[in-house]
Amino acid sequence: MSDSIESHEDFLAGIPEDRRPKHIAIIMDGNGRWAVEKNQPRINGHQKGVETVRSITEECSQLGIEQLTLYCLSSENWKRPELELEFLLQLLNQYLIQERDTLDRNNIRLKIIGRRDKLPDSVQAEMDRTLEITAGNTGSILCLAINYGGRGEIVDAIRKIGAKVKTGEIDLENIDEETVSNHLYTAGMSDPDLMIRTAGEMRISNYLLWQLSYSEFWVTDKYWPDFGVEDFRQAILDYTDRKRRFGGLLTESGC
């Protein structure tokens, strides 16, 4: 770590524990544009973006963030040029293999959400291997959203609930928000406290539509390959200054 960056201990010392985000979600945008602006192939931007994934994942672990959820491959990404899509899948496969030691060394447990059936068998095999290797880790959770779409997730949840209603396992009259949450890909996970998006885009792009209902948003114009630990820490600091109401009102004291 650069001498200009506070140690993890000093950084955390300035933030009350109850003000720290437990779960951070990120839309990693701008890899292709980063490369194009440098007159490089778009795939170079994706390769550079993997380095950012590594540094931010390790930072989360060191800061004690309970979960980091990254939007890696959306269900809409299949519309991209075939060569770029093939490269993204190869890069994903490579990441799952090469980062196992890093995840294990940092006591990070991997989770994956999304529709796996469309992914190549080779990618699914590496996913399962990395999930198995990190299953016993007790530190931060790294959740990768792969072939993921928020609307598709809700549709899949409705299908699961509907099937249970049909068999009598669930009573139609007893379906509530908790029922839906328990049938999403993210069942058992907390909702994100903070959602970060790079490249200046002001939309959520079909990402965690149910889970982001009360998340705080933080957007930067920086492309994902240029997003660093300093930026990540600034997002956390800005989050600590937010007054989260969850639909209610603050007291006169602002608490």
CATH number, domain with residue 81: 3.40.1180.10
For residue 178, tell me if it sits in a domain: no
CA 226 to centroid of chain Cα atoms = 18
For residue 248, tell me if it sits in a domain: no
Tokens at residue 230, please?
């300093």
Is the sign of the CA dihedral 35, 40, 45, 51 positive or negative?
negative
For residue 171, tell me if it sits in a domain: no
User: Number of structural domains, the chain?
Assistant: 1
The predicted model scores a pTM of 0.92
Does the active-site annotation cover 77? yes
d(CA 144, CA 112): 5
**Residue 149: CA atoms inside 13 Å, Cβ hemisphere, count?**
10
Does the active-site annotation cover 104? no
Return the pLDDT at 13. 94
Pick the catalytic residue from 3, 10, 18, 29.
29
* pLDDT averages per 10-residue partition of the chain, 255 residues: 78 93 97 96 94 97 98 86 87 94 95 94 96 97 97 98 98 97 98 98 96 97 98 97 69 49
Range of the structural domain that residue 206 is part of = 18-149+192-240
For residue 111, tell me if it sits in a domain: yes
Is residue 49 a contact partner of residue 225, using CB atoms and an 8 Å limit?
A: yes
Is residue 161 a contact partner of residue 183, using CB atoms and an 8 Å limit?
A: yes
For residue 172, tell me if it sits in a domain: no
Pick the catalytic residue from 3, 44, 77, 191.
77
For residue 247, tell me if it sits in a domain: no
Q: Which residues contact 254 (CB under 8 A, 6 or more apart)?
A: 243
For residue 174, tell me if it sits in a domain: no
For residue 94, tell me if it sits in a domain: yes
- Tell me 190's DSSP state: P
How many C-beta neighbours within 10 Å does residue 250 have?
Answer: 10
| Residue (of 15, 4, 6) closest to 237 by Cα position | 15
Tokens at residue 149, please?
């779409």
d(CA 177, CA 84): 38
Is residue 226 a contact partner of residue 48, using CB atoms and an 8 Å limit?
A: no
Return the pLDDT at 3. 54
| Residue (of 66, 193, 212, 196) closest to 150 by Cα position | 212
